[in-house]
Structure 1
C-alpha cells in the first residue's frame, strides 16, 4: 500500500540551482524518498546494490543489484529499500539548451518508462564497468573548474546509448519484442500533451497524415497495443494518480480528463482496472 496520505503528490525539485546533478544514492536520503513523490526533471537511478522494493506508478518492483530505473518528469515513485548506487538528474532545459538538440532526447523516450514499457533495466557486468567510468567522468566534469555542458551531455548520451543496448538485450532474454519507431515515439509525446482533451484516434492519425487504421498498424508493430489502448492506459494512470494523491472528487477528475459524463468515466475506469474509481481510492488508503 502507499504510505503517503497527503492531499497532493509532493514534487521533488533538483537539490541545487543548476539543471544537472549526479551523486551517490547513499549521500541523498530524506523522508520524501520513502513516500510517494514525483520529480520535475528526468532521473536515472542506478542501484549497484539494493534490497527491498521500488514503486513506480503503482507497480512495485523487487530490487536487485545492478538495476536501473529511468523516470520522466511527473512520474510517481517510492523507495522502500536499502541501496547503493548513483542518481543522475537533469532537466529538459539542460538537454535542449541548444536549438540543434531539439528532438535528440526524445530518441530515448522508450527508455524513460512513463506509462508503458518494460520496467527496469538489468545490467550485465561489462556494461556496469563502462557506466561506472562514464559516471566518474560526469562527476569530474561537474566538479571541475571549467565545467562544460557540452561535455556532460556527450557523456550522458553515451550513458543512455549503453542503457538502450542493455534494454534490447533484456528484451531478447525475456523473449519480449523491442522495436523502436520514431513515429511511435512522437505518438507517445502527442498523447502526453493531449490525452486530457483529445480522445479520438483520428486526431493523432491526422498529425502524421495517416489513416487511423495505418497508425494502429504501426503502433501494434512496436508496442502490441492500438492507439486507443495506449491512450486509455495514459488516462487510467492519470486517474489513478488523482484518486490516490488528491482530494478531488470523482466528478472533478472526470472533467479534468476530458470526460463529459461522470457515470461513463466510472464505467471506463472499471472496464480498464476491474474496480470502480471510489473503490480504488478506498483501497489505496486502507
Structure 2
C-alpha cells in the first residue's frame, strides 16, 4: 500500500467535499481529560466522513479495515493491521470505510507532566514528525499481539477509579506502546536508508517551523535558534531530508494554503496576508510554482 497524492487537474477527492466551512472543524472525541482509548467501530460522528481535525495526538490502530483515509490531501487505501499517527491540527477524513480497532488519544501535557518525564520517557514527538513524509505504518503479527496486551493493560488502568493513582502507570504503558510503534515504523522503512537517519535538530526545526511558518519565511530566523549559519543548517537538512530550510517552510505554507482554500470561505487575499505574504500577486505565483495551479484554480477544482 502506498499513498497516492491527489494532484490537479481532476482532483480525485473533489467530489467528496460538498460544502465549505469557515474553519476546519475539530471533531469531539468520546472522552474527557488528557488520555483515552476507545474502539473506533463504536464511534462515528457527522464529521467522520468530512475533513476535520483533533486537538490532541492520536494513534489509530486499525486491526481490520477497508476503504479510504485522506490525510492532508493524500489518499491511503486502508488495510488490516495499519497504524495512522495524527498530530494536533492534522486534517483527515474517512471515505467508504469499514474499520475496527482502537484509537489512543493523549495530550503532550499528559505524557510530559514534569521534567523527570521529559528526561526518562521516549520523546514521542519524533514519531509524529511528518517532515520526512507522512505515511501509515504496517503492523507485523508479533507486534499486533504486543499492542493488544498493552491496550488491555491501559484500559484496565483507566477503569481504576482511585483518582491520580493510575496516570503514572498508564504513561509507562503508553511509553512502551509508542516505542513499539517506533520499532514498527523503522521496519517499514528498512529499505529506505534516508528515512532511518534521525537528528534531534531536525525534530526541533520541524517544531519551530510549525510554530512560526506564518510569520517567518527566511532560513536565517531558524538558524539562529541553533547558533548556526543558515548555510550550515541547510547542509544538515539536505543531508537528512534532501531539502533546504526554505523548502520546509514553503511546504508548510503550501499545505496551509491548500487547507484554507479547500475548507474556508476566506478570500485568496485574506489567506495571503494570514500566511505572511504582503503581495497577493506574489502569493499566487508562489502557490502556482508549488502546485501547478493558481489558488483560484485549486479552489474551483475542489468543488466542480
Q: Same fold (TM over 0.5)?
A: yes
Matches within 5 A, 1:68-147: 68-80=83-95, 81-102=97-118, 107-114=123-130, 116-146=132-162, 147=165
The C-alpha deviation readout for 1:230-267, integer Å capped at 9, x for no partner, is 11110101101110111000000000000111011011
Matches within 5 A, 1:156-167: 156-167=174-185
Match of 2:17 in 1: 3
> How far off is 1:111 after superposition?
2.3
The answer to whether the 8 A contact 1:178-1:222 is kept is no
Indicate the structure whose relative CO is greater, using CA pairs within 8 Å and at least 6 residues apart.
Answer: 2
Bigger shift: residues 104-113 or 65-74:
104-113
The answer to whether the 8 A contact 2:30-2:43 is kept is no
Q: TM-score, normalised by structure 2?
A: 0.89
Match of 1:266 in 2: 284
The answer to whether the 8 A contact 1:69-1:120 is kept is yes
> How far off is 1:125 after superposition?
0.8
The C-alpha deviation readout for 1:191-248, integer Å capped at 9, x for no partner, is 0110001100001111100111111111122222211111111010110111011100
Q: TM-score, normalised by structure 1?
A: 0.94
The answer to whether the 8 A contact 2:194-2:240 is kept is no
> How far off is 1:96 after superposition?
2.6
Distance 2:63 2:240 in 1: 30
Aligned residues: 286
> How far off is 1:145 after superposition?
2.6
CA RMSD for the aligned pairs?
1.8
> How far off is 1:109 after superposition?
2.7
Matched, 1:181 2:199: yes
Consecutive unaligned residues of structure 1, counting only runs of 5 or more, are none
Matched, 1:284 2:266: no
Consecutive unaligned residues of structure 2, counting only runs of 5 or more, are 1-12
Match of 2:190 in 1: 172
Instruction: Mark the CA change 1:152 to 1:106 in structure 2 (over 3 Å): closer, same or farther.
Output: closer
Match of 2:60 in 1: 45
Matches within 5 A, 1:201-212: 201-212=219-230
Matched, 1:22 2:40: no
Distance 1:184 1:274 in 2: 28
Match of 2:7 in 1: none
Match of 1:221 in 2: 239
SS state of the match for residue 297, structure 2?
A: helix
Distance 1:220 1:123 in 2: 30
